[in-house]
Amino acid sequence: MKTLEELEAIRQKTLARISLRKEDKEEAVRVVIGMATCGIAAGARPVLTAFMEEIDRRHLRNIQVTQTGCVGMCRLEPMVDVITPDGNKVTYVKVNPEKARMIVADHVVNGHPVTEYTIGAAEQQA
Amino acid sequence: MRDLSLHLLDLAENSLRAGAGRISLQLTLGADGALDVVLEDDGCGMEQGLARRAADPFATTRTTRRVGLGLPLAAANAEKTGGYLTLDSVPGQGTKVHIRLMTRHVDCLPLGDLPQTMVSLILTHPEHPDFVLDLHSPRGQARFDTGEIRRVLGPEVGLQEPEVMNYIQHLLTEQCQMVFGGLIS
C-alpha cells in the first residue's frame, strides 16, 4: 500500500527539481483537451492519459495540461489545442492516444505541428 | 458513455463549473449488489425549478446550445438497471447527485477506470478544488482526499507534478482494487 512516507520522499525530490526549474524562465506549452460530455464520450480521457504518460516518459517539464468545455464541434471530438509560448495555437481533431503521442513528439518537443491531424486538414476533407 | 467512471468524470465537470471548493464522490456497494454513487459539491447550486428539470435533455443554462446531455444520459443508464438518479440542490450551498445502480442487472454499465477519472480531474485542476473519494463495500472501505496530499506536499509542490500524479494513480488503483476488486467489474 502507498504510504505518506513515500509521498514525503517525492516532495523532497520534487522540491530540489523545482528550485532548478525556477532559474530557467522558459514559458510553458499548454495542451488543452475538450472534456465536455461530447469529448468524454468520444474518448477524451484516454487521450488525456496518453498526454500525461508521454510527457512523463520523456521527462518533459513546463508543459501544462488543462481542459476546456464543449466548443460546439462535437463531431470532431476529442479535440486538443496546443498553445506554444509564442502564442500560436494549433487545434487537433479526432485525437486518439496514438495521435496524442505523435503530437507530443513532433509538435511539443520538435516544434512541428502534425498537419494531417489539424482541424484545417479535417475541413478540407469534408 | 461506455462506463460509470466516464459518467462521473462528466458530472464532476458540472461541479467544477459551479465553482465548487470541494467535490466528493462516494461509492457504496451493498451485499445485494446495489451500488449507490453520491456526487456532492459545495458549488453555486441551482434554483429548485432548474434542479427539477436538470435531467431533461433540453434544460440547460448554456446559451450556446439548447441541449445538455450529462445528467439525462446518466439517469437513463441508472434506470435501465432498475435504479434511479436523484438530484438535490440548494442555491448558494451546493448540489448532490445520487445514482443508484443494480450492478447484477444485465444492462448495468461496468464501473470502468475510476482512478483514471480522478487523475484526469486532479491533473487538470491541480490547485483547486479538493477532490475526495470514499469507497465502501462489504469487504472494506478506503478514503482518498487531495486535501491530505496537499498537507504533506506543502505549498511549494503542486499535485500536477508527474511523480505526485503517479503516486496518486497507484494509491487510487490499490484502494479500488481492495474495496471493489472482483466484486464488480
The residue ranges of every structural domain in chain B are: 4-180
Q: What is the pLDDT of residue B101?
A: 96
- pTM confidence score: 0.90
* pLDDT at residue A68 in the model: 93
Single-letter code of the amino acid located at B70: G
The predicted pLDDT at position B162 comes to 87
Contacts 24+ apart (CB under 8 A), A119-126: A119/A73, A119/A76, A119/A79, A119/A91, A119/A92, A119/A93, A122/A76, A122/A93, A122/A94
User: Does B13 contact A35 at a Cβ distance shorter than 8 Å?
Assistant: yes
| pLDDT value of residue B151 | 95
Are A65 and B70 a contacting pair at CB < 8 A? no
Task: Identify the pLDDT of residue A2.
Answer: 85
Q: Please check whether residue A49 is in contact with residue A40, taking contact to mean a CB–CB distance below 8 angstroms.
A: no
Chain B residues closer than 8 Å to A11 by CB: 152-154, 157
The confidence score (pLDDT) of residue A23 equals 57
| Cβ contact B10–A37 (<8 Å) | yes
Q: State the average pLDDT over residues A50-72.
A: 91
CATH topology of domain B4-180: Heat Shock Protein 90 (3.30.565)
pLDDT for residue B69:
85
> Chain A residue with minimal CA distance to B164?
A10
Q: What is the pLDDT of residue A126?
A: 67
Q: What are the residue ranges in chain B where pLDDT is below 50?
A: none
Distances (CA, A) of A77 to A24, A44, A98, A111: 35, 8, 15, 23
Task: Identify the pLDDT of residue B64.
Answer: 61
Residues A63, A12, A58: CA angle, nearest 5 degrees: 30
Domain ranges of chain A: 26-125
Predicted pLDDT at B66:
59
| Contact residues on chain B for A69, CB-CB shorter than 8 A | 13, 17
Q: Report the pLDDT value the prediction gives residue B76, as an integer from 0 to 100.
A: 93
Q: Is the pLDDT of residue A25 over 60?
A: no
Q: Which residues of B touch A36 (CB under 8 A)?
A: 10, 13
The three-state secondary structure class of B136 is strand
CATH topology of domain A26-125: Glutaredoxin (3.40.30)
CB-side exposure of B3: number of CA atoms within 13 Å? 12
Chain A residues at the B interface, defined by Cβ less than 8 Å, are 1-2, 4, 6-8, 10-11, 13-15, 18, 33, 35-37, 40-41, 45, 48-49, 52, 55-56, 64-67, 69-70, 72
pLDDT at A54 over 80: yes
Helix (H, G, I), strand (E, B) or coil at A125: helix
Specify the pLDDT at position A26: 67
Whether chain A has a CB inside 8 Å of the CB on B115: the answer is: no
Option in B9, B161, B170 nearest A40 (CB)? B9
**Percent of chain B topping pLDDT 90:** 81
**What digits encode the pLDDT tens for the residues B79-103?**
999 999 999 999 999 999 999 999 9
pLDDT value at position A52?
Answer: 92
Asked if A40 and A5 touch (Cβ cutoff 8 Å), the reply is: no
The pLDDT mean for chain A works out to 91
- Taking the C-alpha atoms of residue A19 and residue B91, their distance in angstroms, rounded to an integer, is 43
